[in-house]
Amino acid sequence: MTGYDADVVVVGFGGAGAAAALSAAEHGVEVLVVDRDTRGGNTALSGGSLRLRPDVERAARYLSTLSLDRKAAAVHRSMLDGCRDLGGWLVRLGAEIEEMNDAFVTNTLPRVLASPYPTIAGSEALGPRFRVRGRDGQSGGDAVWELLRDAVLRHPRITVRTPAVAVELVRAGQGRVDGVRLREADGVHGVRARHGVVLACGGFEYDRRLQQNYLGFSLPAFGWPGGNDGSGVRLAQGVGAALWHMTSIASVLGYQLPGLEAAVRHSMPDLGYVYVDQECARFVDETGVDFHAIPMDLLRMNPRTFRRDRMPSFLVFDEATRAAGPIADTYLTPYRDEFRWSRDNRAEIERGWIAAADTPRELASTLGLDPDALAATVERYNAGAAAGADPLGRAAADMRPLRGPFYGVALWPCLINTQGGPRRDATCRILDPGGEPIPGLYGAGELGSMWTQLYPGAGNLTEAIVTGRTAGAAAAAALAPPAGPAPATGTVTPAVTDALAAFVADLRAGDLPETALRAARRCVLDQLGCAVFGSTLPWSALVRDYVRDEGSAPRALVWGSGLRASATLAALANATAGHAFEIDDLHAGACFHPGR
């Protein structure tokens, strides 16, 4: 493989990738980070809220209820454990941390509820939301990203290469992921990853094919156009990774507007509005459902028409609400440096983004809806507002009659991010379909997230940084294969001979089947010769590769016995037995799949 080398290669330079790089570098290894750009992915466009003080035991039970995925229990626990020192780590990078006050919850429409799924107990166990304090006018996500980005760029053991797109993971002859092929301006280059590769390159918000295949539809996305294109899914699949949570998303309501590739977030300044479907019927309490949960009402298929007749739905609002402030938040979009939504929405009306009319019937005609149906819906809503009663449960304090002129715009469930991708374990090792780690491959962030359909808010950013740190540390700690040629003949390798001596001294008749025991003893001198004379005999590669690939396993399997030992001793036992039975190519069954 030609090109350049690193100990750890991180694919993706958002919050997860930056955290992975910093964590790996903190463990003393050289790190290469590759991405298209340095914009920060979804981290920079996020609200920036973090969970730093969970009640771990109770929160683990809550997340288990939300996910309905028993396989994720250890992953949930690992993430929650990682939250506990996340604040201190951010402070060491230079952050000021502040708790987000109640106004974040109460003054937002649609609302950010403290308990997003009120019928599921335990949300308070996640603890309050925190954020990194930014400069005046800076969003929470921007503040987090600036902190992480600057820490990466000034770290002496981290190199960032952009624009560079990972097109393929490279595996060693015995299955370990030990490199990446990158497409750069001057062609495709190979990069060797001596310890491992961390995939932290986001989901598939901008891959309509993957959306259609796994979600059953495609949705607009808030992220950077051209980013999060599903490349991480394809890279992982290329080396045999299992996928999980591919049907899960995090979404809020937004607008898909002419001339803009990314969606714009829906945010209301006043209470004079309703949502209607394509039949002009209201279908949800517009102010009483959490903003992460309310898109579920739009995603459902009509069982009578077999159409998704709420995609899009329509926002209908009145004159007082138009004048109260912008109906969109452009700061958490890629367009924040290009324009700001006007304070009174008039510029957007003039652009044709918002329809305007004197009556509900006229507005319906402009939006392509049934005039009589929309007029009837507004009339019923106004009557309920006057009476302080709503069949959908909207609180009387959140209702007032709508007074013209009237305004409308199509409203979509829009992707903050997808959650699916390669399945990972509690130490962020990416797994194959049998549940075994793929040696040398790690994952972090939204690519293979632990979250499923019930997303509680502040979870993806917290997970991105926590799993980034976990993946980076795990990759750094992985045993790298020998970098140079085998030692010259006659050069002693003390670590191997000492371990072999310990294995021989500790070998008891009950440790192995009798046939393996007899064969192992016959081959002890051969193995010692391997260690002393340069590890050049073919079966000694079994020892080296097993220890390199499975050294992090606390108790690895001794082949044919059901016993467990340290990875080093199990490797010696397996390789010795393999040589004794003249099956030196036994590595796939004996030396790469330790039991756990």
pLDDT over 60 (residue 223): yes
More confident residue, 507 or 301: 301
Percent with pLDDT over 90 in the chain = 68
Rounded CA-CA distance 304/435 in Å is 41
β-sheet bridge partners, residue 130: 50, 99
**End-to-end Cα, the chain, rounded Å:** 33
Domain boundaries, the chain: 3-48+137-247+419-477, 251-415, 494-590
When pLDDT is averaged across residues 319-326 and rounded to a whole number, the result is 98
Cβ contacts of residue 180 below 8 Å, gap of 6+? 9, 11, 34, 166, 168, 169, 170, 190, 191, 193, 197
Given CA atoms 494, 498, 499, 500 in this order, what sign does their dihedral have? positive
- Pull the structure tokens for residue 142: 């921007």
pLDDT tens-digit series, residues 271-293: 999 999 999 999 999 999 999 99
pLDDT tens-digit series, residues 414-470: 999 999 999 999 999 999 999 999 999 999 999 999 999 899 888 999 999 999 999
Rounded CA-CA distance 301/68 in Å is 22
The average confidence (pLDDT) of the chain is 85
pLDDT over 70 (residue 22): yes
Question: In this predicted structure, what is the pLDDT of residue 198?
Answer: 99
Question: In this predicted structure, what is the pLDDT of residue 116?
Answer: 82
Nearest to 233 by CA among 161, 163, 169: 169
Q: Assess contact for 382 and 401: CB atoms under 8 A.
A: yes
More confident residue, 22 or 588: 22
| Least-confidence region, from 64-73, 92-101, 104-113, 382-391 | 104-113
β-sheet bridge partners, residue 558: 563
Q: Quick check: bond before 405 cis, omega within 30?
A: yes
pLDDT over 50 (residue 200): yes
pLDDT band at 565 (very low <50, low <70, confident <90, very high): low
Following CA atoms 166, 171, 177, 178 in sequence, which dihedral angle do they give, to the nearest 10 degrees?
A: -80
pLDDT over 60 (residue 353): yes
When pLDDT is averaged across residues 176-205 and rounded to a whole number, the result is 96
> b/e map of 442-456 (b: 16 or more CB within 10 Å)?
bbbbbbbbbbbbbbb
Half-sphere exposure of 26 (CA within 13 A, CB side): 18
Question: In this predicted structure, what is the pLDDT of residue 497?
Answer: 42
pLDDT band at 523 (very low <50, low <70, confident <90, very high): low
SS3 373: helix
Q: Quick check: bond before 456 cis, omega within 30?
A: no
pLDDT band at 138 (very low <50, low <70, confident <90, very high): confident
| Least-confidence region, from 131-145, 456-470, 525-539 | 525-539
pLDDT over 90 (residue 89): yes
Cβ contacts of residue 43 below 8 Å, gap of 6+? 14, 15, 16, 18, 141, 144, 145, 148, 461, 464
Tell me the range of 300-304, 310-314, 525-529 where mean pLDDT is highest: 310-314
Rounded CA-CA distance 514/179 in Å is 41
More confident residue, 135 or 169: 169
| Least-confidence region, from 271-275, 367-371, 582-586 | 582-586
pLDDT over 90 (residue 525): no
Following CA atoms 368, 371, 373, 377 in sequence, which dihedral angle do they give, to the nearest 10 degrees?
A: 100
Residue 484: how many CB atoms within 10 A of its CB?
5
Q: Assess contact for 410 and 219: CB atoms under 8 A.
A: no
Q: Assess contact for 111 and 105: CB atoms under 8 A.
A: yes
Query: What are the φ/ψ torsions at residue 506 (nearest 5 degrees)?
Result: -90, -5
When pLDDT is averaged across residues 107-127 and rounded to a whole number, the result is 84
Question: In this predicted structure, what is the pLDDT of residue 498?
Answer: 45
Quote the CATH superfamily of domain 3-48+137-247+419-477.
Answer: FAD/NAD(P)-binding domain (3.50.50.60)
More confident residue, 331 or 560: 331
Rounded CA-CA distance 298/311 in Å is 6
Residue 99: how many CB atoms within 10 A of its CB?
12
Percent with pLDDT over 70 in the chain = 78
pLDDT over 90 (residue 558): no
Rounded CA-CA distance 403/401 in Å is 6
Question: In this predicted structure, what is the pLDDT of residue 119?
Answer: 86
**CATH code assigned to 251-415:** 3.90.700.10
